[in-house]
Structure 1
Amino acid sequence: MAAFEYVNNVYDPSLKPRLLRSLIKEHIPDEKQQLRNSLHLSHLVSAVKTHELLSERQSIDDKKMAEKWKSAVDFWVDRVLMLLSSNMPDKCWAGICLLGVTCEGCSPERFLASYSVWFQKLLSHLQPPAESHFVKAACCVSLSDLLTRLSGLPNTKRDGTTHAAKLLQPVLNLMHKDNSDADGAASLLCTILTLFPSSLQKTCDSVEAAIVTKIMSGKCTTDMLKKLARCLSLLPKSKGDEDSWSLMIYKVLVAINVLLNDSFQGLEEETRSSEIMRALVPPKKDPPAPLGTTTTTISSPPAPLGGLTIFDISNKATLQERVSMPSISALMLCCSTMLTTSYPAKAKLPVRLLLMLVERVLMVDGSLPHTLYPTITAMQQEYVCLELPVQHSYSLDILCGIVKGAHSQLLPHAAHMIRIVTEYLRRCELPELRIKLYALIKLMLLSMGVGLTIYLAEDVVSSASIDLDSVGDRGGEAFSNSEPVQKKRKHEMAVTSHENQSETIHTHKNPVPISLKIAALEALETLLTVGGGLRSEGWRSNVDLLIKTVATDACNGGWTKPTNDSNNTYSNSSSWADFQLASLRALLASLLSPGRVRPPYLAHGLELFRKGSFVFRDFSMLILFLWEVYI
């Protein structure tokens, strides 16, 4: 008769228990049946989440339906726990995965009544060394789901901390392995540090040592290093005081610079390393305990900085064999993450030391100094150059973190930061890094105010004019709608002579990506918005003409309809329509920015906005423009 018991529609609560029982019988095997392939399991999980089949949400008055749904969920839980207890690895793996889904989707009442039992069953599969790697990896994910759900319920903080503490030793044991177990353990450790950091109060040093040892092992993937870097950055949360954060970032800064002494040897001035080391540890002051060592492993005082023993490695020869550039990048990522992560106690940023590190890294481009006999081999140079773009990217992240977190602390160091940014703007050539650099400049202008315009304007305009020099070729990227490619149009002006540009700013030999052009336009837009009213006729007239020329060239070949989110300007999928819209926004900023005289390209700008409004339908932009100009 069940086949003829129709429901009202897909939203009928009586459909839930029937669907759940059907899915269990079709996709979850009993003790005698074999597990079907993972595609069926994926379909099962998708259906359970889409229809919320484990939530047990029903009307209070419909007790009969509530009992049916409860019975169906009981049937689900029993079958999942049966799979989890199976001796067959594939069934056990499936049961662990489905228990994680259960933790996410079941009712709060069921979760509170059952999570302790579920936790013990998962923990039992995390510890035995004979368990399959797939089982342990799935166990880490499901335990993370359980802790995440537990953290969101009221009055469970203490119990969650107790359960998380029981996981620390098994997690640390997995961290020492060289397989996928360590990756799952790092993800679970991140969850514990994020949700229940106080569970690590007594084992903080041991966890730090395990993380750093893994980072320095040279056997981690890029994703694994990123997880470990995040774990290391979250460790100060375990104690929650200002000193813990300050000590951690100080130890990380010392470690990075000591490692760079070997990695950058022969590629930088010899005085630079000694200068930053003197700043890190002034005379007559002891260096901090080595990063990654515990109080039980330090049998003697740390060595002087000239031969500092870090990462619990006793001699420099062993250090050079184990340390790699990706490990340094991971520590730099840890440093940048610490600047942008929220902590229980707010600490003072070591702005000067951070800027010195960033300057040291950004000024190394892999070139050899002008000496007769290089002190580095060609293979070492190649190895350093391979990782330099990553370290430069993290250096820019550190600068962004300083701007966001330092606030008034940055004022005494503003000149130093401006010098770093302008110098790197002249040297940087990789599009991805230049995009990030333009974003940093925007952030600096918006955060530090109009006074910064005086020092950045010339360099920003000169650099942007190079990136926007060939706007008619659409960056060599494909475009749709079969529109004719417009001929490349020469600029009517040049911000600086070609000779001077070749000496101070790079020149593009390859087509410029659209995303880089958009970043350059947005930097100019911000420059005009923040400091366009300054009486700086030199750069102001140049940038106005540049933006007018770029907008005209961008729109000469016809209008392209937007195909994606125009606000996502830095994505790899930036289209020609995104660039056209960015050029109109920059033109709007040029025309609205206050000046001594009436905008010289007002009529031309009005015509471009009139044509563009039919495609982008952004009438608010045009209305604002007309209001500001004529009212």
Structure 2
Amino acid sequence: MAAFNLVVNMHDPALKPRLIHKLLREHVPDDKRAFNDRSELSKGVSMIKIHNLLSESFTSMDQKLIDIWKSAVDSWVNRLFLLLSNDMPDKCWAGIVLLGVTCQQCSSSRFLASYTEWLHRLLPHVQTDSQFLKVASCASISDLFLRLGRFQSVKKDGISCAGKVIQPVIKLLHDDNTEAVLDAAVNLLCTLIAFFLFTIHRHYDSAEAAIVSKIYSGKCSSNMLKKLAHCLASLPKSKGDEDSWSLLMQKILLSIDSHLNEALQDIGEDSKGHEVLRLLIPPGKNPPPPLGCNSLSEDSFDKITRSSERMLTPSISTLMFCCSTMITSSYNHQVAVPIRPLLAIVERVLMVDGSLPPTSVPFMTSLQQESMCSELPALHSDSLNLLIVIVKRLRSQLLPHAASIVRLIVKYFKKCVSAELRVKIYAVAKLLMMSLALEWLHLLHEM
């Protein structure tokens, strides 16, 4: 009798198809059964992962059991297809989430035979009106491409598939979506950059514009801004040449300088901004297009810039973090880091303490000064973080700049009151001394 058709133990392969059918009966919704308790879905996902129910790992099994397990997984996938086409958002969401889990957990042979169709079924939900369906579909598509990126044999087809995704994802970044949608879209974009660089290459300018528009929007949390900075810093990898890295770094530094001009326009330190500009754009050279405006209309870029004026510190901090990420990340070509402009930006920020020269007093209200002073500690901290990265990563390249860095450290230490910032400036000094000592020992050894 079927009721007494017992398995050997919990490791018996014969148990797996039975558990799949149990999930379909008890935890996964269908056309008729209502879907009210999402915790049931979590239990199902946990069971799939614990028991490897979708792995179809056939080892020393008879053909009958192989066919039974394969049939059970077929039933599982068909149920998900049914849910994906359901008009009820909750059931559709369940299908999207479970298909993402299936992309992670199924056998390699099933995945390679099915990923194109699965992507075709997931992609329309990226462009739906429902926010939580957008989040789920971005997450599941990211799972699909994470798995697909492991198979070199289908790299060309993977690039083709990724090409169908990139424009809808960039549109999500441009649209005024919730942070949850933005987070899912950025994660998916980072996955595509990591595994399918050539896809990004063809959409480089629009990707840069979309990322920068969000950085400048003033609507993102600090965690989201860091993700956007990481994504922006990764873009040059898609072109794979030194010029792309150098151009992006130049544009970021010019953007930081421009934001500082806006923030510090009434305190009479314009000469510092001119110095940064001179270092980044030599005489006779044309400036690059502003960061993020390669594929934006002039009106759109002005709108983004105006909106960023309301909250300058997050934009500057994010772009500084992006510089740090570009310096610390591995790159497939050797790149020349613009040390002097970077140090000039750091010095420009650290030398501002909120005091006003006599000529600036008539042009700044007490409220404006209070606002600026409230933001300066965060900017100083971010500048010191960037300086730490420069000293830690560039080592021997800093020898020609060591004296100017030491002068900056001494000058700032005399002015710095904050204990937290003094700890960071100590860290810079220690790293610099260690780096220089090692380089001198190396030079003496060569002599």
TM-score (norm 1): 0.64
In structure 2, the CA distance between the partners of 1:253 and 1:60, relative to structure 1 (3 Å rule), is same
Partner residue of 2:26?
26
Aligned-partner SS, 1:402: helix
Q: Quote how far apart the aligned CAs of 1:268 are.
A: 6.5
Partner residue of 2:265?
265
* Aligned amino acid, residue 202 of structure 2: K
Which of 284, 302, 305 pairs up with 1:313?
302
Q: Quote how far apart the aligned CAs of 1:445 are.
A: 4.9
Which whole-Å CA distance do the structure 1 matches of 2:261 and 2:329 have between them? 28
Which of 172, 175, 189 pairs up with 2:173?
175
Which whole-Å CA distance do the structure 1 matches of 2:326 and 2:333 have between them? 13
Question: Any gaps of 5 or more consecutive residues in structure 1?
Answer: 299-308, 454-631
Partners of 2:267 and 2:360 within 8 A in 1:
no
| RMSD of aligned residue pairs (Cα, Å) | 2.9
Partners of 1:140 and 1:185 within 8 A in 2:
yes
Task: Please tell me whether Structure 1 or Structure 2 has the larger radius of gyration of its CA atoms.
Answer: 1
Q: Could you list the per-position Cα deviations for residues 315-370 of structure 1 after superposition, in whole angstroms to 9, with x for gaps in the alignment?
A: 99x47746632122221121111111122212110011111111222333444456
Which whole-Å CA distance do the structure 1 matches of 2:440 and 2:263 have between them? 35
* Aligned amino acid, residue 317 of structure 2: S
Q: Could you list the per-position Cα deviations for residues 161-209 of structure 1 after superposition, in whole angstroms to 9, with x for gaps in the alignment?
A: 1111111221122112222233322222122122212112222112222
TM-score (norm 2): 0.88
In the alignment, structure 1 residue 115 sits paired with structure 2 residue 115? yes
Partner residue of 2:217?
217
Q: What is the correspondence of 1:516-527 to structure 2 with a 5 Å cutoff?
A: none
Which whole-Å CA distance do the structure 2 matches of 1:10 and 1:237 have between them? 47
In the alignment, structure 1 residue 392 sits paired with structure 2 residue 390? no
Higher relative contact order (CA 8 A, sep 6+): 2
Partners of 1:266 and 1:376 within 8 A in 2:
yes
Which whole-Å CA distance do the structure 1 matches of 2:21 and 2:433 have between them? 60
Partner residue of 2:445?
none
Q: Quote how far apart the aligned CAs of 1:121 are.
A: 0.7
Q: What is the correspondence of 1:37-186 to structure 2 with a 5 Å cutoff?
A: 37-128=37-128, 131-180=129-178, 181-186=181-186
Which of 359, 365, 374 pairs up with 1:377?
365
* Aligned amino acid, residue 326 of structure 1: P
Question: Any gaps of 5 or more consecutive residues in structure 2?
Answer: 442-447
Partner residue of 2:322?
334
Aligned-partner SS, 2:152: coil
Which whole-Å CA distance do the structure 1 matches of 2:3 and 2:434 have between them? 65
Which whole-Å CA distance do the structure 2 matches of 1:274 and 1:45 have between them? 58
Which whole-Å CA distance do the structure 1 matches of 2:177 and 2:387 have between them? 35
Q: Could you list the per-position Cα deviations for residues 553-582 of structure 1 after superposition, in whole angstroms to 9, with x for gaps in the alignment?
A: xxxxxxxxxxxxxxxxxxxxxxxxxxxxxx
Q: Quote how far apart the aligned CAs of 1:232 are.
A: 1.4
* Aligned amino acid, residue 343 of structure 1: Y
In structure 2, the CA distance between the partners of 1:295 and 1:117, relative to structure 1 (3 Å rule), is closer
In structure 2, the CA distance between the partners of 1:8 and 1:182, relative to structure 1 (3 Å rule), is same
Partners of 2:268 and 2:360 within 8 A in 1:
no
Which whole-Å CA distance do the structure 2 matches of 1:81 and 1:105 have between them? 17
In structure 2, the CA distance between the partners of 1:372 and 1:283, relative to structure 1 (3 Å rule), is closer
Which whole-Å CA distance do the structure 2 matches of 1:235 and 1:448 have between them? 32
Partners of 1:325 and 1:384 within 8 A in 2:
no
Partner residue of 1:618?
none
Q: What is the correspondence of 1:278-317 to structure 2 with a 5 Å cutoff?
A: 278-294=278-294, 297=297, 312-313=301-302
Aligned-partner SS, 2:337: coil
Aligned-partner SS, 2:104: helix
Which whole-Å CA distance do the structure 2 matches of 1:368 and 1:3 have between them? 86
Which whole-Å CA distance do the structure 2 matches of 1:196 and 1:233 have between them? 16
> Which sits farther off after the overlay, 229-238 or 277-286?
277-286
Q: Quote how far apart the aligned CAs of 1:242 are.
A: 0.5
**Count of residue pairs the alignment pairs up:** 439
Which whole-Å CA distance do the structure 1 matches of 2:268 and 2:154 have between them? 54
Partners of 1:233 and 1:334 within 8 A in 2:
yes
Q: Quote how far apart the aligned CAs of 1:295 are.
A: 6.6
